Amino acid sequence: MTPPPAESVAAMIRPAPVRVDSKVNRDLLRVMEGASVGYWVLLHLAVAFMLAAGGWWIYQVYRGLGIVGYRHPVFWGAYIVTFVFWVGIAHAGTLISAILYLFRAKWRNAINRSAEAMTVFAVLTAAQFLGIHVGRIWKSYFILPYPNQRALWVNFKSPLLWDTFAITTYATTSILFLYIGLVPDLAIARDRSTGWRRVLYAVLSLGWQGTSKQWKAQNRAVLHLSGLATPLVLSVHSVVSWDFAMSIVPTWHATIFAPYFVAGAIFSGFAMVLTMMIPVRRIFGLEEYITDYHFENMSRFLLLTSLIVGYAYLSEYFIAWYGHVEPESTEFWMRAFGPYWMSSWTMIICNAFVPQIFWFKWARTHVPTVFIVSVLVNIGMWFERYVIIVGGLSREYDPAAWGVYTPSWGELLIVAGSFGFFAQFFLIFLKLFPVVAIAEVKEIEIHSKAHGEVGH
């Protein structure tokens, strides 16, 4: 037996070569380092909006909801509109993480972290509106079924109660999902950070060592959570839609609402992911990880959901005409040509027409176009909820009690503040946690390499 050549011994005793994944780690963790002036400006802006809205909200609690633009009979306004909007936004994350995970859609790996984070923040933002909107925030705990001596219980028949459960369940699940996925990345961050960050990541990474047993457990947890979360994607917005569909308000009371709202939610969620990720990719130079391929796929999703939503619009009008129920057909006519015609057409054009551009590959792969479309879809989806909620309430059964609502400046400030609230979380998240799932990106790379070798 001949001894190995000296050179190879030397090679053996040399420190290990730089690992192949180091570039991924470096690239993706660099996002968390330092902060540009622009970042601080954005963060301050977001916090400022949030604080301004908070100040207004405190005044509103003190003074009463009367300072808001509500006008009988429109008792739900911009607050509920924005609530539904944010719940909708929250859908992309779970869809990407859970359903696409189950379908093994590999392209999701680059965007799932940001989508999951968005989900959590969007749900948190949405939840604020439940409190902002009620008349007596100081008694709003009545809505929780807590045991009490007066034997008061909640009304399980009320869609608002289902809503409460749906939102809390969804928030819990999506936080867990985000966190479980984060653990391996937190460990990477822990290994490469110093100071308070190291302590933070050490605590949060739960002693992750990357052993195969841990990987197995983590994979299993993700799989099971996906299984749990998948029905949630469909149920949460279904429940939110039942806030409307279970009532007898013409234009709300429709069986189509659950699928219609779920499709709309996914539609707006994907649009929001695009709106957020396109600038992030540009600013942090993540083109290698979040590729145009991802954007193209998401554009396809937008196209699909836009078609579903557009179909829902058509079907609503068809049923209103075909059903021959005068209050309902009147309301739908009013929706298109009445006081809210601008909102209605904004909704129809932004949601049903604009995304049709994605039939063309050049549009799907041209990032500025994708960005603009995603922003328009976000606007369109806000107006969709506005048209449904406000328009539906303004002209109901009794023509003596019709009224036209327009949001007050205070409400719009709170709507703006909700974006600040959301953006603030997202911006902080960018600097604290890996915005692209490092482990999963690597997993894909390893897989593709392995496949490449097999191919040789």
Partner 1 sequence: MAELDRREFLKLVGTSAGAAAAVGCSDLPEKLIPYVVQPEEITPGLPVIYASTCQECSAGCGVHVRTREGRPIKLEGNPEHPINRGKLCARGQAGLGRTYHPDRYQSALERDASGALAPVAWDQAIARLGAAVSAAGRRTAVLTSPLGPTLSGLLDSWLAATGGGMRVEYEPFAPEALRHAAEVVFGVASVPVFDLSDTDFVIDFGSDCLSTGLSPVEHARQLSAARDAAKESARAARLVYVGPRLDETASQSDEWLAPKPGTEGILALAIARAAVDAATGPDGEIGVAASAIARQLSGFGADAVAARTEVPAETIRRIGASLARARRPVALPPGVALSSSRATSTAAAVLFLNAAIGAVGHTVQVPPAPSRAPSFRDTTRLIEAMKAGDVDVLIVHGANPVHTLPSASGFAAALGKVKLVVSIASMPDETSALAHLVLPDHTTAESWGDAAPRPGVRSIVQPTLRPLYDTRAFGDTLLDTARAIGAAAAANLPAGSFRSAVEAAWKDTNWRAALQRGGVFDGGAWSSPGIAEGVARLQFKEPEIAGDGDFVLLAVPSPMLGDGRGANLGLLQETPDPITKIAWQSWAEISTKSADSLGVRPGDVLAVETASGKLEVPVWPRGGLRNDVVAIAFGQGHTVGSFAAATPDEYSTGLRAGERPAPGPARGVNVNAILPAQSDESGGRAFLVAKAKVGKTGRFQRLPYTQGTDNKRGRLLGESISLAALAAGGPSPWAPNETPGHVPGALAAVPAAAEHGETGERRAAAGHGGEHEILRAYDPVNDSVAEDPYRWGMTIDVDKCTGCSACIVACAVENNIPTVGESLILRNRTMQWIRIERWIGEGEPVLEPARPDVESREQLGNVDVRNAPMLCQHCGAAPCEPVCPVFATYHSPSGLNGMTYNRCIGTRYCSNNCPYKVRRFNWFDYQIERWPDPMGLGLNPDVTVRAQGVMEKCTFCVQRIQAARLTAKGEKRAVAAGEVQTACQQTCPTGAIVFDNLKLADNKAGAAANANAGRTYHALHPVNTRPAITYLAKVAREEGHEA
Q: Residue 146 or 359: which CB sits closer to partner 1?
A: 146
Smallest separation (angstroms) from partner 1 to the CB of 145: 10
> Cβ 319 to partner 1, closest distance in Å?
17
* Sequence-ordered strand ranges (E) for 57-107: none
* Closest distance of CB 158 from partner 1, Å: 4
- Closest CB to partner 1 among residues 229, 245: 245
| Nearer residue to partner 1 within complex by CB, 135 or 210 | 135
Closer by beta carbon to partner 1, 14 or else 139: 139
Distances (CA, A) of 201 to 55, 160, 189, 276, 432: 34, 38, 7, 25, 9
**Start-to-end CA span in the chain (Å):** 32
Cβ of residue 222: shortest distance to partner 1, in angstroms? 34
User: Which residues lie closer than 8 Å to 106 by C-beta, 6 or more apart?
Assistant: 444, 447
Q: Cβ of residue 72: shortest distance to partner 1, in angstroms? A: 4
Of the candidates 428, 422, 424, 423, the residue with the CA atom closest to the CA atom of residue 32: 428
Strand partners, 74: 71
CB of 244: closest distance to partner 1 in angstroms? 9
CB closer to partner 1 out of 156 and 362: 156
Give me the residues that bind partner 1 (CB under 8 A), please: 63-66, 69-73, 75-76, 133-136, 139-140, 142-143, 152-155, 157-161, 164, 243, 246-249, 326-327, 330, 333-334, 337-339, 341, 393, 396-404
Q: Using CA atoms, how far apart are residues 269 and 120, in angstroms rounded to an integer?
A: 12
Which residue's CB is nearer to partner 1, number 144 or number 283?
Answer: 144
Kindly tell me which of 204 and 336 has the beta carbon lying closer to partner 1.
336
For 313, residues 6+ apart whose C-beta sits below 8 A from its C-beta are 347, 348, 351, 352
The phi and psi torsions of 209 (rounded to 5 degrees) equal: -115, -10
Nearest distance from C-beta of residue 345 to partner 1, angstroms: 12
Write the single-letter amino acid at 339.
P
Nearest Cα to Cα of residue 307 among 346, 264, 245, 361? 264
- Residue 340 to residue 338: CA distance in whole angstroms: 5
From 370, 410, 449, select the one nearest 24 (Cα to Cα): 449
CB 166 → partner 1: shortest distance, Å?
13
* CA diameter of the chain: 103
DSSP category for residue 433: S
CB nearer to partner 1: give 184 or 250: 250
Q: Give the E-state strand segments of 36-190 in sequence order.
A: none
SS3 state of residue 404: coil
